[in-house]
Amino acid sequence: MDKISQLPDDLLIKILSLFPTKDVVAMRVLSKRWMSLWTLVPRLIFGVHPEEDDDREEEDAKSDENDHCSHFVYGTLLLHKAPVLERFHLNRVSGCTASEIDLWVRIAVDRFVRDLKIRFFPEYGIIRLPSTLFRCETLETLELRKVIISDVPSRVSFKSLKTFRLLFVKYPDEESFVRIISDCPVLEDLVVETCHDDNVELTIVDYFGELKLLGNNNNLPQVIEANLLSVSCHAKVLESFSRLNRISLCLPEEVQYPTGIVLSQLVCLEICSCEDNWTNMLVSVLQHSPKLKALKLALNHSVSEDRKLFWTQPSCVPQCLLCHLETFEWRGYGGTTEEVEKEVAIYILNNASRLVTATIYYPESFELERKRRMFKELEVVSRGSRSCKLTMG
């Protein structure tokens, strides 16, 4: 401990910043010098992230709740002296009242908080967020989990917000949700996970991947990648995504490609082939993505063995196939279902004149001999690109 105490204050504060606040406060007894040093740590993290300890015994969970109960948070904030809060996390705050959280967030905003997270677990909690938070110019990351927002002011502006995660949040109404995300000019990462009994018709988005987004918002100019797993049939799919350069789609049958929308910056496209009409969406996106360079088809979800697929060849070859497509990958290629999959693969190989690599992955249930036989059927197909290398994954 003597060697550690000899380190400069700045380095000691960085070390202390790696621990939960409960442990940081406990360390003050190790040295007289540490009695005040912990109060300068710019990160306050109360409790354990819900996903890190879902399997703990109930007794341990109750013990954890005591770690960030009201008097502990109050006492910490009262003694804390760091002028800037890099992080302020409230995990498992089920025992805290709305007025308490309101006060704590006010203090965090007054100290120029950059990363704010409020997570209720396992039950929902009602929170009242101060109006100053919705105009906080220093906030870069905001995550709310299992909270019920009681009110959203008419003016909302997150000028510096880059990461926004709304997980199982309940809003006063749909307009409140729209206001919350309406002015985020530098937003790069938006994750929205809806709950079954909320009152907002939203795009439901994938929680995994670098970036996810929902539609119907034209004020998110920095968003470049979206991963849409399923979409409400009321949503205008892709209408707000004209600047995207990467997108992954798995859309229900009733969703149609919006008229007049050109994905002028799209270079990477992935489409899930689990829906019966996935070929229609594929053709529509290809026809409206003139710069597409990478195409991936993947069967990410289970399907019935007797499903019916339909394939209508485009009347003219999409520009991206003629001029830009370089990489083609198909995972879960079965070559069956009335040979529609085979026809799609042949069409792409025939017309992609700049294609460099094409990789076909077959279902794991297929025997090796069957895979080889199906692969040979594609090997003999005439290719639009002489330099295209076709391989079996």
Span 177-225, pLDDT tens digits: 778 877 888 887 777 776 655 555 444 343 333 334 443 344 444 455 5
- Cα 319 to Cα 91, 241, 249, 346: the distances in Å are 50, 19, 20, 17
Residue 336 CB partners (closer than 8 Å, separation 6+):
342
Residue 285 CB partners (closer than 8 Å, separation 6+):
249, 257, 263, 266, 269, 271
pLDDT at res. 138: 96
The string of pLDDT tens digits covering residues 220-246 is 444 555 555 544 433 344 555 566 788
pLDDT at res. 206: 36
- d(C-alpha 193, C-alpha 50), whole Å: 16
The string of pLDDT tens digits covering residues 301-337 is 777 777 778 888 999 999 999 999 999 999 999 876 5
- Alpha-carbon torsion angle 234, 240, 242, 247, nearest 10: -70
Name the amino acid, one letter, at 294.
Answer: A
Residue 378 CB partners (closer than 8 Å, separation 6+):
342, 345, 346, 349, 360, 390
User: Shortest CA distance to 245 belongs to which of 223, 272, 261?
Assistant: 223
pLDDT at res. 202: 44
Tokens 């025992």, located at residue: 95
Q: What is the mean pLDDT of residues 368-389?
A: 93
pLDDT at res. 179: 83
- Cα 37 to Cα 10, 33, 71, 81, 369: the distances in Å are 10, 7, 21, 10, 68
pLDDT at res. 390: 96
pTM of the entire predicted model: 0.57
Q: What angle do CA 352, 356, 362 make, to 5 degrees?
A: 85
- d(C-alpha 166, C-alpha 213), whole Å: 11
Q: What is the mean pLDDT of residues 41-54?
A: 70
Q: What would the two tokens of residue 209 be? A: 């991947």
User: Shortest CA distance to 118 belongs to which of 172, 178, 49?
Assistant: 49
Half-sphere exposure of residue 79: CA atoms within 13 angstroms, side-chain side:
16
What confidence category does residue 112 fall into, taking pLDDT thresholds of 50, 70 and 90? very high
Q: What would the two tokens of residue 71 be? A: 């008097």
Helix axes 368-379, 340-351, angle to 10 degrees: 40
pLDDT at res. 272: 87
- The b/e string for 39-73 (b: 16+ C-beta within 10 A; e otherwise) is bbbbbbbbbbbbeebeeeeeeebeebbebbeeebb
Mean pLDDT is lowest, of 143-152, 165-174, 191-200, for: 191-200
pLDDT at res. 105: 95
Secondary structure of residue 337 in the 3-state scheme: coil
Q: What is the mean pLDDT of residues 354-382?
A: 93
Q: What would the two tokens of residue 129 be? A: 């967020």
pLDDT at res. 120: 86
Residue 314 CB partners (closer than 8 Å, separation 6+):
283, 286, 287
Name the amino acid, one letter, at 302.
Answer: S
- d(C-alpha 34, C-alpha 182), whole Å: 44
pLDDT at res. 150: 87
Does the structure show a pLDDT above 90 at 351?
yes
Mean pLDDT is lowest, of 82-86, 94-98, 130-134, 336-340, for: 336-340
Q: Please, what is the average pLDDT of the chain?
A: 79
Does the structure show a pLDDT above 60 at 300?
yes
Q: What is the mean pLDDT of residues 72-81?
A: 89
Does the structure show a pLDDT above 70 at 46?
yes
Q: What is the mean pLDDT of residues 4-29?
A: 78
pLDDT at res. 128: 86
3 or 285: which carries more pLDDT confidence? 285
The order of strands in the sheet holding 225-230 is: 204-205, 225-230, 246-249, 268-272, 294-298, 327-331, 357-361, 389-392
Q: What is the mean pLDDT of residues 160-178?
A: 84
- Cα 13 to Cα 9, 333, 383: the distances in Å are 6, 54, 62
Helix axes 278-287, 340-351, angle to 10 degrees: 10
pLDDT at res. 187: 80
* Beta strand 357-361 pairing with 327-331: parallel
DSSP structural state of residue 154:
S
360 or 236: which carries more pLDDT confidence? 360
